[in-house]
């Protein structure tokens, strides 16, 4: 899905600066969601999609930078989903 070679090249060139970019992209997604909540139109939805794509790319870079495997991440996601499921059963 992602061209890992390109992501590794970006990390090699920009280093820890990509951490700042990751924060910026997450902030832009938050802003896009806020605009969608306010306007609820096609333009706002397209912006949310664009920002989700940017954040997804940054998440892949963060996984590379921190040496996080898909298996480690999937285990953590499974734990969190189980916890969420339990919370939903309580209500």
pLDDT, tens only, 3-17 = 999 999 999 999 999
Return the pLDDT at 43.
97
Please report the pLDDT score of residue 2 as a whole number: 84
Residue whose pair of structure tokens reads 């309580």 in the numeric block: 90
> Is 86 in a helix, a strand, or coil?
helix
**In the structure encoding, which two tokens stand for residue 13, read together?**
């060139």
Q: Tell me the pTM.
A: 0.91
Q: Cα separation of 78 and 74, whole Å?
A: 6
Segments in the chain below pLDDT 50: none
pLDDT of the residue at 39: 97
Residue 1: what pLDDT?
A: 76
Q: Domain spans of the chain?
A: 4-90
């Amino acid at each position: 899905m992602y061209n890992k070679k390109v992501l590794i090249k970006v990390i090699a060139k920009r280093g820890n600066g990509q951490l700042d970019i990751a924060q910026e992209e997450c902030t832009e997604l938050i802003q896009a969601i806020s605009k969608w909540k306010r306007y609820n139109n096609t333009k706002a939805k397209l912006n949310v999609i664009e920002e989700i794509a940017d954040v997804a790319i940054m998440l892949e870079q963060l996984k590379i930078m921190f040496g996080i495997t898909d298996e480690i991440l999937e285990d953590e996601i499974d734990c969190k989903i189980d916890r969420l499921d339990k919370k939903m059963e309580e209500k």
